[in-house]
Amino acid sequence: MFTIAICDDDERIRGFIQDCANDFFSVSGAQYNFIICKNGEELLKKISSVSEPINILFLDVEMPGKTGIEIKDILANNSIVEKIVFITSHIEAMQQAFGLRVVGFMNKPLEKKLVCEWIKNIYTEYSSREGITFGDTFYQYEDILYIRSDGNYIIAKLSNGKETSSERMGVASFIKKLGNRFVRIHRSYIVNLSHVQRIKYNEICIDNEETLPLGRSFSENVKNEYDDYVLAKVKGRMGW
């Protein structure tokens, strides 16, 4: 899941960046989460307990206790934080702020357009890494229409009409390896929600006009997941 950390002693700035991120992600329906901290000590404590990468850290330069510069130096040898964007009201401090994983700076007062641009750029890079390997080939999630079982093996149907090589694994185990846009619809099928066209009583139609079976025991969860996915995209388009 894409993770955004915000470390700033100003509650208004923390809330502003959260609002920008919520607006940006409402368009795609992608899953994301926040780590919110009011100082560097709190950030270091929270980082010590996470196992998934923090994809972008918005870090205030001037804070009580450890400064953003000190936090940056502490994190230099910690790969849990992938990208750092500094927040400052003193441009003269920027000479000290350069370093490993620092990708940019934002001056106060913050502008929504600039915050969203940073999130977009880093999320685009992150998304390009999302995918799964079948055999010796890596496939991006967007290129996968659905996944089906064939005995004790898993095969993916691709948007170009081809199929991947098979992987020896069951559906229940395999879905745990996938991103949140995938949902199990049948004991033998997993579908990519971004390629679903419509859901009927006991079947699902996807982009290539194929019809997949919808198992009765999976039906309610599938419809809820799909409704949430569509609603998130509609909210973005309507500007809610």
**Is the separation of the CB atoms in 96 and 70 below 8 Å?**
no
Residues of the chain with CATH 2.40.50.1020: 131-238
Q: Exposed, middle or buried, 110 (CB in 10 Å: 0-12/13-18/19+)? A: middle
Residues of the chain with CATH 3.40.50.2300: 2-128
The whole-number pLDDT of residue 239 equals: 38
Q: How far, in Å, CA of 186 to CA of 212, rounded?
A: 9
CATH of 131-238, picked from 1.10.286.10, 3.30.70.260, 2.40.50.1020, 3.30.1330.10, is 2.40.50.1020
The fraction of the chain above a pLDDT of 70, given in percent, is 91
For 46-88, write each residue's pLDDT tens digit.
Answer: 999 887 889 999 999 999 999 999 999 999 878 889 999 999 8
Return mean pLDDT, the chain: 87
pLDDT at 228 over 90: no
For 15, 19, 154, 196, the CA distances from 12, given in Å and listed in that order, are: 5, 10, 48, 39
For 121-174, write each residue's pLDDT tens digit.
Answer: 999 888 777 788 887 788 888 889 999 998 889 999 999 999 999 889 888 888
The whole-number pLDDT of residue 29 equals: 67
The whole-number pLDDT of residue 233 equals: 58
β-pair partners for 176:
none
* Location of structure tokens 């005995």: 151
Tell me whether strands 84-88 and 56-60 are parallel, antiparallel or unpaired: parallel
| Token digits of residue 7 | 């470390």
pTM over 0.85: no
Q: How far, in Å, CA of 152 to CA of 6, rounded?
A: 44
Q: How far, in Å, CA of 145 to CA of 78, rounded?
A: 36
Helix (H, G, I), strand (E, B) or coil at 39: coil
The whole-number pLDDT of residue 234 equals: 52
Q: How far, in Å, CA of 240 to CA of 236, rounded?
A: 7
Q: Which of 89, 21, 23 is nearest to 235 (CA)?
A: 23
For 9-36, write each residue's pLDDT tens digit.
Answer: 999 999 999 999 999 988 766 779 999 9
DSSP secondary structure letters along 75-122: GGG-TTB--EEEEES-GGGHHHH--TTEEEEEESSP-HHHHHHHHHHH
What CATH number labels 2-128?
3.40.50.2300
**Is the separation of the CB atoms in 108 and 96 below 8 Å?**
no
| Token digits of residue 112 | 């929504």
